[in-house]
Amino acid sequence: MSAAQDFVATPPFATIAPAEQRVPFVLNSPHSGRFYPPRFLAMSRLDASAIRRSEDCYVDELFRGAVALGAPMLAANFPRAYLDVNREPWELDPRMFEEALPAHANMRSARVVGGLGTVPRLVGEGQEIYTGKLPLAEALSRIETSYKPYHEALGRLLSRTRAAFGFAVLIDCHSMPASVRVGDGSVRPDFIVGDRFGTACAPALTDAAIAILIGMGYNVAHNKPYAGGFITEHYGRPAQGVHALQIEINRGLYLNERTYEPSVGFAPLAADLTRFCAEMMAIPESLIVPGTVPLAAE
């Protein structure tokens, strides 16, 4: 068997769309997938709880209110421990595989060194996922059957949005452990807004996101320690009318990180995020796109 059989009954990802897209926004939740294929679990040394350490639990549900506001959302069903689409397609760790990697693989990125490549070696707390080395065909199969179709779907959503509205805004939705600290280590951010240090979106979007969240009473950090991953960097092309902004949510706001059960904070946070999306969607177009050039081919 190969990865092609892992997502037959359950598709690898889903697009949740309104009857009509009314706003130039697209939401993306690449790490909230919680369907763990039995074949994958059989390869792992981790139990059903530990394997979820990298999961952005329920982030797709927290942002679901944006769909009713007129924005489509793309959400992974595959878990991040299985495949990370917020990486380059061949960002792979040579220590994981029985065969040598092809020359085009990125084997030396900081993410690969940290065990968090396209096919991760570790889950969030540094625990090894697999009992032994994998055949290279396993990585290739996951990339071909899930990674590439996922990015094709995201690219289509953004291209159609850009064509319909003249520009597109991607909100890339993530969560982070409650243990994350910034600055001197004493500050626990509720949110981290990442724009690849100003390169991925119009400043008005970043400024508005930070101001809206602070106005709701949240502690907000900017770019540190998370400035945005591959998705934010790859799709964020403000000069071409495509803007990308990453939002990281502290899991302590809504989740029991030991049991993975939503806490009493889940519903209030979801309501705040719907309000956040509504206020972001109300930003005047003139502040976002003073002038654009045609979108280049992907």
- Residues 147-181 have pLDDT tens digits of 999 999 999 999 999 999 999 999 999 999 999 99
What DSSP assignment string belongs to 145-164?
A: IIIHHHHHHHHHHHHHHHHH
Tokens of 231: 């998705």
Position 254 in a domain: yes
List, for residues 173-184, the tens digit of each pLDDT value: 999 999 999 877
Report the alpha-carbon distance of residue 55 to residue 52 in Å, rounded: 5
What is the number of domains present in the chain? Answer: 1
Position 113 in a domain: no
Output the pTM of the full model.
0.94
Report the alpha-carbon distance of residue 57 to residue 254 in Å, rounded: 9
In one-letter notation, the amino acid at residue 211 is A
Whether the Cβ atoms of residue 254 and residue 262 lie closer than 8 Å to each other: yes
| 295 pLDDT higher than 50 | no
Position 51 in a domain: no
pLDDT, average across residues 47-65: 97
Position 102 in a domain: no
Secondary structure letter of residue 217 according to DSSP: T
pLDDT band at 297 (very low <50, low <70, confident <90, very high): very low
Position 121 in a domain: no
Q: Residue 263 contacts by C-beta under 8 Å, 6 or more apart in sequence?
A: 254, 255, 256
- Residue 183 pLDDT: 78
User: Which CATH number fits the domain that encloses residue 240?
Assistant: 3.40.630.40
- Residue 1 pLDDT: 54
- Residue 186 pLDDT: 77
In one-letter notation, the amino acid at residue 7 is F
Position 259 in a domain: yes
Position 250 in a domain: yes
Position 162 in a domain: yes
In one-letter notation, the amino acid at residue 147 is Y
Report the alpha-carbon distance of residue 27 to residue 229 in Å, rounded: 15
Domain holding 25, by residue range, is 3-35+56-86+149-283
- Residue 184 pLDDT: 75
